[in-house]
A and B are shown apart, each in its own frame.
Chain A
């Protein structure tokens, strides 16, 4: 090791060394290290290249706010996680990590040419430079920009890991297990509340983990922490969730937690999920998320080795790592002096402390400690620049005069520059919950204001600073939250604390620089998105004043860290430049997730076969065994066609269609929606709902029904049978079943409460086998009992009850093919058996199973519409050529009044017609547009479009249905379908192509 590891102390286990590699080079660390602390122990600061300029970048922070140190951690080819923060990667033996966004390697990166080209690529450059030619954007510019600017690479393999999800309820959810959160959990649990305490870190303690000589209740901080966690752990009402990030705050106190279960393990057991999503519903929430230290903004502030002062304390006390040997400390707030004192005590040379606090800042306790320790302090200082390419080598300071002028000062050699601009409370979750934010003038930052949910913030998250204050504030918040959830308790004795509490108030925006234009060296505001003061100034010069606009133009705060370290500095810079106060500049909205969340967490088990429920018809296994090709219709799997050996789709469909026309075919129609409508007012109800007249429908008769919405447009259709005076069997389209049922319920429950009627979905209770074709009766006659199938006894649209294969059957004499047809309804459990029996009985008649594709062709040959294919939600019954179904004498039905509006009867509405290509071999494309004249160039007037188009084997030519403006008045006209290869001439004909008289139906 390089001598940067302290001889003792910290929370790492020096008895458990761990091996790991970074960019292929082997290192060792200790159990308890993060990847960041282990690299720093070897003096490695350079860990990545920046997003846009490919600048060398180092570790800035010690926690989840880290903007620079994004790495890829790889277990195998499929388990490669890009863009994880090295500060949050727990070390395990054998860990393999790689840097990102560099080629060929981290020290020499060709992409760094972008840094030299930076005057050419300011904020918004891609909006200005790559405007045309338009096609080049997709082919050239975007792929190039994406390749050059970016983060890690996603794995090319499917994720082999498992992700779990669970719901949880609690009285009090405490987010953050620092001093305030722990105190809140203690008092809430003591009051009897069920408490859930989560923290994003592996260990509970938050800021306490970074302390070394504080004393609480007479015990050293580490001992107090261990005892407190043990107390909570043994309380059965408390659930502790370490490694768990509260990433989103959703309405009604619904909080999303991402628990990382195995990422820290060298050898996870396969039975464990990698991560677990907790959807918590909390009666009360305590947000104790602490605060994030702000970087300072000065030229060269992104050089590796420039880091937050609090991070240096954390690495020293928690991990036993000195981040350098010679430090310059730029103190924009009192707490930074504490870092200087403690690093000096650990043997780090403090070259100088530059006091860069805002003029007139009150003296603080940490500053006094630094003076007592005899450290060199330069008052009224500013930082003019930092030098060093792959690691900071020196810092040039300046002096700020009383008039605000800046004079250059000395250069101080160093290998690490510690900065602090003050602390920004983590108000993310409070803001996500729609709580207001208020600007705290003393702190110079936003704190939580009025809450919109049952939530309260505690400790440094609301600006309550100092260890004793945080403990008191947390205890009070926990008590109040418990009481609000119905559990009264008392706070117990106050915690006795001895600690040096450095002040946390600081400054926002850029450090003062000499008058004149901005220096050439970049001063970064947003490290992760490479946004500089120059970019913000440019945005203002180009007229952007609102922070929401500046944010989008420069992309400041829009990286994966969502501006944790940059947000307030951007606001402060814009405020200074425009001579406004920060609250007047505004505030951008905090959104979930707090830190990036994997897709796997949200997907959970809903992937592969479990992605979406699958509905299968009773004949599914039979069809599957015979090689049927299925298609998805909603959640249903429907057989599309049954290819014989060597057949393609077209050959199979031709054969299936001809079989129905000449012999007999069978088709599984079980997916049709089925609703039983029952009650003494059932007929009245259907009369009010559907366009047809149902009052005169006889028992055991059926009729084709049309359902409109009240706006007069076709919504659904289907055959409706009357089984008894007070009982109807309604069928709907396959896709419309649920919405028709909901619509019926709506009218029954809320509009026509005078009616005595009930509805029940019976879609899955009935299996339906359609037997269609001239020999259909011959097939069924062998199996059906108790029903006279003769045409006189069971005419077209008649319904009968009897038995088939000995089981009860509801038999419809209906046809969606135009042939003699029956639909056999049996209880779904008998469906497979009856299907097979009909198939066997039909062998002597050449029965042929057919799929949805043949069904479509057969119905199109007859001009039968499919709602949703030949209609589109803007068609009246007249437009769709089904106005004949309307009961003309009815006073009202849903949609009737709308049909009386002038526009619904206007000439020139699109009407359903048949379209016959002049060349019978051409099959039109569905969706293709129809125009009146050939040879036009765009833009041209489109007068209609093709809705259904097929090759018809029965007719030996193509057929199509379409909707054309004033279509029925155009019969015989020639129109044109413009396609890339040229215009296709079509003749307008009636929509019925086959058996126009309908004689075959009555066979």
Chain B
């Protein structure tokens, strides 16, 4: 079970959280102006990163807040967590490279 550092509550066990998919996917302000391709990309296309991945989590069984995290998908190690709306922090390269 992972330990996840909620930016509002601190480190808590994974079972208090719900995963929310890739972070920083912004819904177009006026979807009617999006082309079919742009809209399809917004809806369906997601990264499948090997390495540092920005993703959303929600402290569903805690404060209820959504926040973002940088996680190394090769080790499951969290490199940083930060509040929704903030830019991802710069992090050092993961501890163990693939």
Contact = CB atoms under 8 A, between A and B. Distances in A.
Given A254-B1, A746-B20, A901 B32 contact: no
B6 to A, nearest CB: 13
B4 to A, nearest CB: 9
Contacts of B39: 897-898, 901
B62 interface: no
B3 interface: yes
Given A452-B96, A901-B39, A750 B75 contact: no
Contacts of B96: 436, 450-452
A753 to B, nearest CB: 7
A252 B2 contact: yes
Contacts of B20: 746
B1 A250 contact: yes
Contacts of A901: 36, 39-40
Contacts of A749: 65-66, 84
Nearest to A752: B27
Given A745-B66, A896-B31, A251 B36 contact: no
B66 A746 contact: yes
B51 to A, nearest CB: 14
Interface in A431-484: 434, 436, 450-452
A252 B77 CA distance: 8
Interface in A233-281: 250-252, 254, 279, 281
A251 B2 contact: yes
A710 B27 contact: yes
A711 interface: yes
Contact of B84 (A254, A452, A710, A750): A750
A892 interface: yes
Interface in B57-91: 58, 60, 64-66, 75-77, 84-85
Given A745-B58, A901-B39, A252 B3 contact: yes
A742 B60 contact: yes
Interface in B1-46: 1-3, 18, 20, 27-28, 30-32, 34, 36, 39-40, 42-44
A354 to B, nearest CB: 44
Contacts of A362: none
Contacts of A710: 27, 42-43
A254 B4 CA distance: 13
- Most-contacted residue by chain A among B31, B34, B43, B95 (CB, 10 A): B31
Nearest to B38: A897
A898 B3 contact: no
Interface in A716-749: 742, 745-746, 749
A492 interface: no
B32 A745 contact: no
Contacts, number: 64
B27 A751 contact: yes
A711 B43 contact: yes
A891 interface: yes
A252 B43 CA distance: 33
Contacts of B32: 891-892, 896-897, 900
Most B C-beta atoms less than 10 A away, residue of A251, A710, A900: A251
Nearest to B29: A892
Given A254-B1, A434-B75, A892 B30 contact: yes
Nearest to A753: B85
A1000 B76 CA distance: 60
Contact of B66 (A434, A436, A750, A896): A750
A757 B85 CA distance: 18
A634 B60 CA distance: 19
Interface in A742-770: 742, 745-746, 749-751, 753
B71 to A, nearest CB: 11
A613 to B, nearest CB: 13
B34 A897 contact: yes
Contacts of A450: 96
Given A251-B76, A452-B75, A897 B31 contact: yes
A898 B28 CA distance: 13
B83 to A, nearest CB: 10
Residue among A251, A279, A742, A897 with most chain B CB within 10 A = A897
Contact of B1 (A252, A451, A892): A252
Q: For the side of the interface on A, what is the size category?
A: 20 to 34
A751 B27 CA distance: 7
B67 to A, nearest CB: 9
Contacts of B66: 745-746, 749-750
A129 B24 CA distance: 54
Interface in A898-922: 898, 900-902
Contacts of A753: 85
Nearest to A433: B75
A750 B56 CA distance: 10
Nearest to A250: B1
A169 to B, nearest CB: 11
Nearest to A738: B60
B1 A898 contact: no
A489 B52 CA distance: 36
Contacts of B43: 710-711, 898
A251 B1 contact: yes
B17 to A, nearest CB: 12
Contacts of A451: 96
Contacts of A254: 1, 3
B13 to A, nearest CB: 8
Nearest to B40: A901
A902 B39 CA distance: 13
A609 to B, nearest CB: 22
B57 to A, nearest CB: 12
A450 to B, nearest CB: 6
A888 to B, nearest CB: 14
Contacts of B18: 742
A568 to B, nearest CB: 24
A251 B15 CA distance: 13
B31 A281 contact: no
Contacts of A896: 31-32
A846 to B, nearest CB: 46
A317 B63 CA distance: 58
B64 to A, nearest CB: 6
Contacts of A279: 1
A742 B61 CA distance: 11
A745 B44 CA distance: 21
Contact of A742 (B40, B58, B76, B85): B58
B75 A745 contact: no
A565 B84 CA distance: 51
Contacts of B85: 750, 753
A452 B40 CA distance: 38
A763 to B, nearest CB: 15
Nearest to B20: A746
Nearest to A252: B3
Contacts of B44: 711
Contacts of A434: 75-76
Nearest to B28: A897
Contacts of B1: 250-252, 254, 279
A675 B64 CA distance: 15
A250 B44 CA distance: 31
Contacts of B95: 452
A281 B58 contact: no
A750 B85 CA distance: 7
Interface of A: 250-252, 254, 279, 281, 434, 436, 450-452, 710-711, 742, 745-746, 749-751, 753, 891-892, 896-898, 900-902
Given A434-B75, A451-B96, 19 more contacts: A251-B76, A252-B1, A254-B1, A254-B3, A710-B42, A711-B43, A745-B58, A745-B64, A749-B66, A749-B84, A750-B66, A750-B84, A753-B85, A892-B30, A892-B31, A896-B31, A897-B39, A898-B43, A901-B39
8 contacts: A250-B1, A252-B1, A252-B77, A710-B43, A746-B20, A896-B31, A897-B34, A901-B40
Give me the 9 closest cross-chain CB pairs, A-B, nearest first.
A897-B31, A252-B3, A749-B66, A251-B76, A254-B1, A750-B84, A251-B2, A750-B66, A452-B75
